[in-house]
């Protein structure tokens, strides 16, 4: 009984923190929009999608701890194959098109399959679910998503390694450091603060146009530190975006976009939202391998979002919340011991 009460207290604390963080993100987007006649609908829709996905994940994870993540993995794979036909707006080509969303969906699907594998008590089903995760990685290669292939393999390897970890704290800390490193590299590239050799290599992968968008975003963030230029207004004030044949009004980097449009406070709230996800996983009553598998997928997604527009797609935001909800749910049946 004492253990059950402790689990309930841990979930209540993480839930309260999540409500406060997401509420602060929504309020700040409205404040910055009012200050600069911005359009906060995109931010509010993303926050609503995360919250709805989280609630659905908590319910599904409690009722169907194995079937729900398995279904999520298959759904994510199907959505990735369906892009760009399932996405609204112009059919943008790479590298600034739907590649980020495809990689994100494949990453979340791999994480869900790994979570399902660690949840089941059947060795045969566990092997089948790991084969599903590996199959998703193969599908990413078939779809031509190099970033999706890399992130799926990373999630699968982290999930396998998680089975040997007795404590989740070091693993969560490592994931936070990895996300920080990728975000820091993005800002360094935008600020032209990387060595010339590395800069040339990254320029070839990222394209000069994307780097130009990043530099515009960083310049706007420095010029409008307090409130940014307003949600949804990057495309109006960015010279690089104006020169694009098919502009979508985004710098293709979530941290830089938030910093440019909502100032330093908005950027800090984005960091707080990611930290809340890791905190919720750390406090989760689920087994450590399940927690770290989901954490690896969410961290890989954060890396994808740092260099692309993955979070501009509602289905990705829903997937983030759903995977987090699945992993923080308390199943109504006893889970088998992880072997």
Tens digits of per-residue pLDDT, 37-60?
899 999 999 999 999 999 999 999
Looking at residue 338, what is its pLDDT? 64
Q: Tokens for 336? A: 């088998």
Give the rounded percent of residues in the chain with a pLDDT score beyond 90: 71
For the chain, how long is the longest CA-to-CA vector?
63
In the predicted model, is pLDDT for residue 10 greater than 70? no
Give the rounded percent of residues in the chain with a pLDDT score beyond 70: 89
Looking at residue 11, what is its pLDDT? 63
Q: Which residues lie below 8 Å from residue 71, measured CB to CB, with a gap of 6+?
A: 64
pTM greater than 0.75 (yes/no):
yes
Buried b (16+ CB within 10 A) or exposed e, 52-61: bbbebbbebb
Looking at residue 93, what is its pLDDT? 41
In the predicted model, is pLDDT for residue 88 greater than 70? no
Within 283-331, residue ranges assigned H as helices are 288-306, 314-328
pLDDT digits (tens, 9 = 90+) for 96-136: 456 788 999 999 999 999 999 999 999 999 999 999 999 99
Average pLDDT over residues 149-168: 94
Within the chain, residue ranges assigned H as helices are 2-36, 41-63, 67-82, 99-119, 123-142, 146-162, 169-190, 196-206, 208-223, 234-237, 239-242, 254-282, 288-306, 314-328
pLDDT digits (tens, 9 = 90+) for 228-237: 999 999 988 9
CA atoms within 13 A on the CB side of 43: 31
C-alpha 185/C-alpha 248 separation (Å) is 24
Q: Tokens for 193? A: 């603060």
What's the pLDDT band for 247 if we cut at 50, 70, 90? low
Domain segments of the chain as ranges = 2-328
Looking at residue 89, what is its pLDDT? 46
C-alpha 179/C-alpha 185 separation (Å) is 10
pLDDT digits (tens, 9 = 90+) for 269-302: 999 999 999 999 999 999 999 999 999 999 999 9
Give me the chain's average pLDDT, please.
Answer: 89
Checking 15-21 for CB contacts under 8 A at 24+ apart, the result is: 15/280, 17/276, 17/279, 17/280, 18/54, 18/276, 18/280, 21/269, 21/272, 21/273, 21/276
Looking at residue 97, what is its pLDDT? 52
The CA–CA distances, whole Å, from 150 to 103, 109, 141, 156 equal 9, 14, 9, 10
Residue carrying structure tokens 């993540």: 69
Whether the bond between 112 and the residue before it is cis, its omega within 30 degrees of 0, is: no
- In 3D, which of 93, 155, 138 has the Cα closest to residue 303? 155
Looking at residue 334, what is its pLDDT? 67
C-alpha 234/C-alpha 133 separation (Å) is 37
Looking at residue 243, what is its pLDDT? 77
C-alpha 105/C-alpha 318 separation (Å) is 10
> Rg of the Cα trace of the chain?
20
In the predicted model, is pLDDT for residue 94 greater than 90? no
In the predicted model, is pLDDT for residue 202 greater than 90? no
What's the pLDDT band for 91 if we cut at 50, 70, 90? very low
Looking at residue 4, what is its pLDDT? 53
């Amino acid at each position: 009984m004492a253990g059950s009460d402790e689990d309930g207290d841990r979930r209540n604390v993480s839930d309260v923190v999540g409500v406060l963080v997401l509420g602060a993100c929504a309020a700040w987007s409205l404040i910055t929009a009012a200050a600069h006649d911005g359009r906060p609908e995109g931010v509010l829709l993303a926050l609503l999608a995360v919250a709805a996905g989280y609630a659905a994940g908590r319910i599904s994870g409690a009722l169907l701890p194995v079937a729900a993540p398995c279904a999520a993995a298959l759904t994510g794979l199907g959505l990735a194959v369906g892009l760009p036909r399932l996405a609204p707006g112009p059919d943008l080509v790479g590298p600034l098109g739907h590649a980020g969303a495809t990689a994100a969906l494949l990453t979340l699907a791999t994480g869900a399959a790994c979570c399902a594998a660690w949840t089941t008590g059947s060795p045969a089903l566990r092997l089948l679910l790991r084969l599903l995760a590996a199959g998703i990685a193969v599908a990413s290669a078939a779809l031509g998503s190099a970033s999706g292939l890399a992130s799926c393999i990373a999630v699968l390897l982290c999930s396998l390694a998680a089975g040997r970890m007795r404590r989740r704290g070091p693993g969560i800390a490592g994931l936070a450091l990895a996300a920080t490193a990728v975000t820091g590299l993005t800002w360094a590239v935008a600020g032209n603060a990387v060595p010339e050799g590395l800069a040339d290599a990254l320029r070839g992968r990222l394209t000069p146009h994307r780097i130009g968008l990043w530099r515009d975003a960083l310049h706007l963030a420095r010029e409008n530190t307090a409130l940014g230029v307003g949600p949804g207004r990057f495309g109006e004030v960015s010279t690089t975006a104006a020169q694009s044949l098919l502009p979508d009004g985004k710098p293709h980097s979530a941290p830089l976009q938030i910093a440019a449009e909502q100032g330093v406070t908005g950027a800090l709230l984005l960091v707080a939202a990611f930290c809340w996800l890791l905190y919720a996983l750390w406090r989760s009553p689920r087994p450590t391998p399940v927690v770290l598998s989901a954490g690896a997928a969410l961290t890989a997604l954060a890396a994808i979002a740092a260099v692309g527009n993955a979070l501009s797609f509602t289905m990705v935001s829903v997937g983030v919340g759903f995977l987090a909800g699945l992993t923080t749910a308390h199943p109504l049946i006893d889970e088998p011991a992880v072997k």
